[in-house]
Amino acid sequence: MDNQFIHELKEGYRIVFTNLELLEQAFTHSSYVNEHRNMRLEDNERLEFLGDAVLELIVSQYLYNKYTNLPEGKLTKMRSAIVREDSLSKFAKECGFDQYIMLGKGEENSNGRQRPALLCDLFESFLGALYLDQGLQSVVDFLSKVVFPKIEAGVFSHEMDHKTTLQEVLQKSGDVEIEYQLVKEDGPAHDRKFLIEVYSNGTLIGEGSGRSKKMAEQEAAKVALETYLANKKKE
């Protein structure tokens, strides 16, 4: 396995594999195995199968504990957004995994290193290998650095309403009074426009407009959430 990658795992995520063969297998694509049959290598497909199950369990538990007021349907929808192909492929690239997967020449030449499905499988394979090497808590710790902050930042908030997301974020450290106030209503009956302001403990944190009060409240919550997250990044 590439020494630079081993160093990056240690420095970036405090991960040191006991069994480096597991790590190597996680980064071995079937196309590479097919072109190096004499080396008796194993591809990462079985690890992908395991990693998929581990990922779904951990994300499910995280969402269950974090969003205590969300019904099953919304939890399922949000989990699906987190573990789907395009999301996992982005996580893999952000971790630099795309640089180290071993591909066959054909797959390499067809830009396989950037293919979302391949990167998604790679991310799951790594989780499977990490689970076998160090146990469930190590996978939780890794996801706490890579995936959970994205959830906290509202990256997947479009899968649930912005008002719920804002409430969860603001009340993370304790009770907060959130109030929506109708500021203005104008326009003809068939094309009304509403302006809503949202307050947190009496402080204005966002405003939004829409063709209904509900739409305006959602827009106000979205603006407030974006402002809050932007300020958090500056801290």
Report pLDDT digits (tens) over 64-80.
Answer: 998 887 778 888 888 98
pLDDT tens-place string over residues 10-26? 999 999 999 999 999 99
Domains observed in the chain: 3-156 (1.10.1520.10), 161-234 (3.30.160.20)
What are the tokens at 116?
A: 């979302």
Catalytic residue among 98, 121, 124, 217: 124
- Which residue, chain included where needed, has tokens 């290998």? 129
What length is written for the chain?
A: 235
Tell me how many degrees the CA angle 214-219-224 measures, rounded to the nearest 5: 125
pLDDT at 83: 92
Q: Which of 24, 52, 107, 133 is catalytic?
A: 52
Contact between 67 and 93 under an 8 Å Cβ cutoff? The reply is no
52 a catalytic residue? yes
Give 110's Cβ-side CA count (13 Å radius): 10
- 175 catalytic? Reply is no
Highest mean pLDDT, choosing among 41-45, 104-108, 120-124, 154-158: 120-124
Tokens of 75: 């939890």
Q: Is-above-0.85 flag for pTM?
A: no
